[in-house]
Amino acid sequence: GTFAPLQQRDCAPITPPYALLIHRLHVARQFLDGRPLTLSEKILYSHLYNPEKSLGGGGRIRGERYLQLRPERVAMQDASAQMALLQFMTCGLPQSAVPVSVHCDHLIQAQVGATSDLSSALDQSKEVFDFLESASRKYGFEFWRPGSGIIHQVVLENYAAPGMLMLGTDSHTPNAGGLGMLAIGVGGADAVDAMTGTPWELKAPLVVGVHLTGKMGGWTTPKDLILHLAGKLTVRGGTGKILEYVGPGVATQSCTGLATIANMGAEVGATTSTFPYTSQMRKYLRATGREGVAAVADSAVKHGLLVPDQNAEYDEWIEIDLSELEPHINGPFTPDLATPISKFGELVKENGWKDELTAGLIGSCTNSSYEDMTRVASIAKQAKEAGLKAKVPFLVTPGSEQIRATIERDGVTQSLEDVGALVLANACGPCIGQWKRDEFKGEENAILTSFNRNFRGRNDANSKTMNFLASPEIVTAMSFAGHLSFNPMHDTLSTPTGETFQFSPPVGITLPVIGFATGEKSYRPAASPAPEPEADVLISPTSTRLEKLEPFPSHFEGSETMELPSMRVLMRVRGKCTTDHISAAGPWLKYKGHLTNIAENTLITAVNDEGGEVNVAVDYEPGQEPVQDTIPHVAQRLKARNQPWALVVDDNYGEGSAREHAALQPRFYGCAMIVARSFARIHETNLKKQGVLPLWFVDKEDYTKIGAGDQVNTIGLDKVIAGDPSAQVTLEVTKRDSGELFQIPTKHTLSEDQIAWLKSGSALNYIRDQKRQ
């Protein structure tokens, strides 16, 4: 039941290897007693490295077992790609094990309009774009230049295919699920797994069946379905789960509509969302130049792929009748506060919000399909005929150059501009705080967007701006009214000539009748470019945003034994310590590609259990007076003395997002070991990848026995490294003041591969060492 490791590019980058997947699924089924499978399971189980290891032995799989997966493709955006590429570079491979695309979209401001915004971004972030482009050239990645579009839209147009498994370093990667695949948002370290051909681990998600019946019409859109569902499930309701949509309602939706639904599955915390293959997907594949994919997908369905088995069992079941859905408006400040439009006016009154809209924004990765834009144009045309103009700034973000060029060619853009719309660059812009807006600074005000997220400060950096999420149709119609309590389905407006005007429901065109326009060709990469091993990766030595990553030295270098060198305890961390406590976000994000600079934020919001203060640690250098300082500064002092150190931490250390910086930074400062009451699994794995030894107290009470300045040695790690993973590692502790000596038993969760990572100093060192042999 084992398959040979993925050969370099053994699958064509675009056309899915369905014959191989069918074969693998057949093998996987042998470990599953012939039970019927959901679509999500079929996709996951046909991408296993070793089905026997992941599925064998009986018992429940979903929600219990860890799957070792081989994704087929990786997509990265310009912000998160930086550290992922810097890490990939340290392992010395000439190319990636799977096709990779890099997309420049997040670093582009929305200020005055597409052309000039793009040129200022090229100026401001030139060093980052140059780095990404040169690294892409060296390793043969497909590099999508600034202006080419938003990652998720470009992926849907070019790379997504039914039944595939893809990783993307962005939380809305699941957008590609609109084409019936599993696309999962991850951190950079996971992307590097796929790029180096290392099995990528995922706890088998639970599968929620969302059964769609009926047909939506009028003002209701796929966006309203997911806005409604977000209200039902809440922002945590999808954690550890895949939303798998089934039932006759699925086929009534366009492929891009399904993408909108999948995109916002991220808002309920779902691992991803997916749909069985439909004829609308086939049409979308053809319209985007992938007839070949459509043809093989059609035959894969006949072999049982791309659809769930009959009678497949779901962990939860949700019924939605599309005929009964009405448009929704969600917010403010959280995407799960869902209000049907018929009740929204009351909500505005109840909360005493000013009944004034200050801007309408449409498009983004969530809602900028041809269908969305033509439906919106139908509203704009009605308004124009009535002599109306948008009452508030009305901004349009096309998801891709292909969309921009197509709607321009087909007169859609003109219809929007006729009523006062401003078209922004094909990039994230206002969705991710790159919206330069000087009015309403610090003032409460309300905007309506067709985006997916509405956390405080996300759009214009004003934490009092209330962002309400809705379909692009509702945002557009309400922009003509200029107030929140307007319900375009029932209310009327007066025209400049004093007549009463009411909108008719929008109508649109699913796909352009004469096909998509390509637009500016120079934004696009060549298909499957060959790596250029001689190419230099451009990193300026004076840059504050980018820094070459040096491989971490092995802890065992020059050591006679296979025990960790003698360590000092830096501090004992109290209570909740998420990856955000370990590596804060916000203003630090600009240093994502510069480990020395970003490491200055290490643990700055962590609580020291000895004293209870935040960001306070003490350097107990033997023979010196203790020095109190911030946590990163004490870590720097230890690093300067080449003193390896350890952390003692509480329960569920490292919960939260899979931020690789939270493992890289302590390691960079010389952390060799972290002893915890318990770890969050993903972070524990990230520590192992960076060569930090995570140990668990056997007795959680031992946590209080070790403190700052104590000396710690491992006993028994040598046996683990010599090939006995079951050997126990004991800590020998020498107390800082009393010199008292005692031992503490620990447990570890290192697998054979992970032991090899530790020995080499990091997973990437191990890969490099393997290559040299």
Nearer to ligand F3S, 370 or 757 (CB): 370
- Which of 254, 264, 278 has the alpha carbon at shortest distance from 230? 264
Nearer to ligand F3S, 366 or 382 (CB): 366
Nearer to ligand F3S, 41 or 105 (CB): 105
Task: Examine the residue annotation and report whether 494 is marked as an active-site residue of this protein.
Answer: no
Minimum distance, C-beta of residue 105 to ligand F3S, in the bound complex (Å) = 6
**Separation CA 368–CA 358 (nearest Å):** 21
Minimum distance, C-beta of residue 366 to ligand F3S, in the bound complex (Å) = 6
- Which of 91, 72, 84, 54 has the alpha carbon at shortest distance from 6? 72
Minimum distance, C-beta of residue 453 to ligand F3S, in the bound complex (Å) = 6
Of 24, 29, 106, 228, the active-site residue reads 106
Of 566, 657, 678, 751, the active-site residue reads 657
Task: Examine the residue annotation and report whether 453 is marked as an active-site residue of this protein.
Answer: yes
Spatial neighbors of 103 by CB under 8 A, at least 6 apart, are 75, 76, 77, 78, 144, 148, 149, 150, 151, 154, 155
**Separation CA 182–CA 71 (nearest Å):** 10
**Separation CA 185–CA 165 (nearest Å):** 11
Task: Examine the residue annotation and report whether 152 is marked as an active-site residue of this protein.
Answer: no
Task: Examine the residue annotation and report whether 145 is marked as an active-site residue of this protein.
Answer: no
**Separation CA 760–CA 557 (nearest Å):** 9
Nearer to ligand F3S, 390 or 428 (CB): 428
- Which of 334, 336, 341 has the alpha carbon at shortest distance from 221? 341
- Which of 663, 656, 667 has the alpha carbon at shortest distance from 686? 663
CA dihedral 629, 633, 637, 643 (to 10 degrees): 100
Minimum distance, C-beta of residue 399 to ligand F3S, in the bound complex (Å) = 8
27: exposed, middle or buried (Cβ count in 10 Å: 0-12, 13-18, 19+):
middle
Q: Are 453 and 337 in contact (CB under 8 A)?
A: no
Nearer to ligand F3S, 105 or 157 (CB): 105
**Separation CA 542–CA 695 (nearest Å):** 38
273: exposed, middle or buried (Cβ count in 10 Å: 0-12, 13-18, 19+):
buried
| Contact set with ligand F3S (CB under 6 A) | 105-106, 150-152, 170, 172, 364-365, 428, 431-432, 451-452
Minimum distance, C-beta of residue 506 to ligand F3S, in the bound complex (Å) = 22
Minimum distance, C-beta of residue 128 to ligand F3S, in the bound complex (Å) = 16
Task: Examine the residue annotation and report whether 659 is marked as an active-site residue of this protein.
Answer: yes
Minimum distance, C-beta of residue 175 to ligand F3S, in the bound complex (Å) = 8
Nearer to ligand F3S, 152 or 328 (CB): 152
Minimum distance, C-beta of residue 219 to ligand F3S, in the bound complex (Å) = 24
Nearer to ligand F3S, 421 or 676 (CB): 421
Of 453, 555, 667, 683, the active-site residue reads 453
- The residue behind tokens 């809602």 is 367
Of 524, 594, 659, 667, the active-site residue reads 659
Nearer to ligand F3S, 76 or 432 (CB): 432
Of 47, 80, 96, 170, the active-site residue reads 170
Burial 624-650 (b: 16+ CB within 10 A, else e): eeeeeebbbebbbbbbeeebbbbbbbb
- Which of 610, 748, 597, 745 has the alpha carbon at shortest distance from 687? 748
Listed in sequence order, the DSSP H helices in 269-393 are: 279-287, 291-302, 341-350, 370-385
Q: Are 573 and 608 in contact (CB under 8 A)?
A: yes
Task: Examine the residue annotation and report whether 170 is marked as an active-site residue of this protein.
Answer: yes
Active site residues: 105-106, 170, 453, 657, 659
